Structure 1
Amino acid sequence: MSQQMTLSVQKREGLGKGANRKLRTAKKVPGIFYNSEGKNIPVAIDGTQLEKLYETAGKTTVFNLDIEGETAPCLIWQIERHPYKPFFTHVDLFGVDMEKPIKARIPLKITGVAKGTKIGGRMEVYRDFVDVFTKPGSMPKVIDINVSNMEMGDAVHVADLKLEDGHCIYDSNYVIVRVSAPRGGKGEEGEDA
């Protein structure tokens, strides 16, 4: 990570529904910063800055949080949107220790066209994310799964995913994506599948 992004926030005094409503009217987003020592700090964030940061960083990129001059590495942990208006209503920020691994949910991206689908197979995607345990600085933004070499009947399991630093968390070695034979159709040689 060459250039780390920074988000400037202010501590907020007023808590509760009324104070949060006033913040949102002023185009600010109420939030809570949970620092790495376990302290919770209520903050107010400029809505436009938060939207720009979320577009580029998402939930998997570490950025610097500047709270009135104090800086800490941070991740967006949870974010709430208005049900029908295009703005955020609340955000939870999670302070991280760059040397300690954390659990995070990383999205999966399927790339390529499987060989098995070209001869009539069906691509079945069972998961669109995976939980990983890794250091915040080496957390991937997305995990790419190239399915170009998958034949009919092939599958990618969670244990098949390799991370540069860290590992996937799973109880069972579940399937992420599979190329299945078509149901009730004809096979390659014209036989029933």
Structure 2
Amino acid sequence: MAVTLSAKSRENLKKSATKHIRKEGLVPGVVYGREEASQPISINELELVKTVRDEGKNAIISLNVEGSKSFDVMLHDYQMDPIKNELTHVDFFVVNMSEELEATVPVQVVGEAKGAKEGGVLQQPVFELVVSAKPKDIPETIEIDVSALEIGDVLTVADLPKDANYRVVDDSDSTLATVTAPTVVEDTDTADAEGSAEPERVGEKKEEAAE
């Protein structure tokens, strides 16, 4: 079920008006889609942040734009102020609930690898996957169970359980997790001690025997 948020239309696009919007706790943004003309809006920052935090960045939002109409949208892009850590602009993409689209979904590791318990190192080279699905079927996360992985084992996209609601677009050979053998560090002190022994001089024993 889509989460409902309210937004306001923006007609004055000057910088002074944009600054005023931000002072009111609103974020300037835009709504657009294949069959929808781009429409400037503003939306409450706190409500949007809470929605994304609770529902995930791929949540379907029913966006009621004051003076316009309601749109089924997804948060497509956003910009942040790196100093103030505040949203400065958001893009909403109007979706067709009956058509598939591609979205990026976080990968979450669950379980403790058997090989890691034996001293191996669990590595996760991929943290996101691209899936194709209808908007309502896009998963919030994709879980990968690494419990059975032993040292040297590799888990790939092809090993993921097949889900009827979505399809992973990434290459089937892409590595999601692997357990590598622990790195063996040579004891340099022992090696130095062994290497520091004085070599036997040629002919030394023969001279001692002659005496």
1:102-140 CA-to-partner distances (Å, cap 9, x unmatched) read 110000111110001111111011011001111100110
CA contact under 8 A between 2:158 and 2:172: conserved in structure 1?
Answer: no
Say whether residues 1:179 and 2:170 are aligned partners.
no
Give the counterpart of 1:8 among 6, 9, 19.
6
CA contact under 8 A between 1:36 and 1:97: conserved in structure 2?
Answer: no
User: Matched residues in 1 for 2:132 and 2:63: separation?
Assistant: 22
2:13 is paired with a residue whose SS is coil
Structure 1 residue 84, shift from structure 2 partner: 2.4
The residue number in structure 1 matching 2:28 is 30
**1:73-84 correspondence runs (5 A):** 73-84=72-83
Return closer, same or farther for 1:16/1:153 CA change in 2, 3 Å cut-off: farther
Structure 1 residue 90, shift from structure 2 partner: 0.8
CA contact under 8 A between 2:137 and 2:165: conserved in structure 1?
Answer: yes
Moved more, 45-54 or 140-149: 45-54
CA contact under 8 A between 1:159 and 1:168: conserved in structure 2?
Answer: no
Aligned alpha-carbon RMSD (Å) = 1.8
Structure 1 residue 25, shift from structure 2 partner: 1.5
Unpaired stretches in structure 1, ≥5 consecutive residues: 187-193
The residue number in structure 2 matching 1:99 is 98
The residue number in structure 1 matching 2:111 is 112
User: Matched residues in 2 for 1:33 and 1:120: separation?
Assistant: 51
1:41-90 CA-to-partner distances (Å, cap 9, x unmatched) read 11011122212212112321112111126212111111222212242111
User: Matched residues in 2 for 1:128 and 1:34: separation?
Assistant: 28
**1:7-156 correspondence runs (5 A):** 7-68=5-66, 70-156=69-155
CA contact under 8 A between 1:125 and 1:176: conserved in structure 2?
Answer: yes
User: Matched residues in 2 for 1:52 and 1:170: separation?
Assistant: 30
Greater helix fraction, Structure 1 or Structure 2: 2
| % same residue | 34
User: Matched residues in 1 for 2:150 and 2:48: separation?
Assistant: 43
Q: Which amino acid aligns with 1:43?
A: I
Structure 1 residue 5, shift from structure 2 partner: 1.1
User: Matched residues in 2 for 1:78 and 1:132: separation?
Assistant: 17
User: Matched residues in 2 for 1:70 and 1:114: separation?
Assistant: 50
CA contact under 8 A between 2:74 and 2:92: conserved in structure 1?
Answer: yes
Task: After the TM superposition, list the runs of 4 or more consecutive aligned residues in structure 1 that deviate by more than 4 angstroms.
Answer: none
Moved more, 89-98 or 172-181: 172-181
Q: Which amino acid aligns with 2:23?
A: T
Question: What is the aligned length?
Answer: 184
1:44 is paired with a residue whose SS is strand
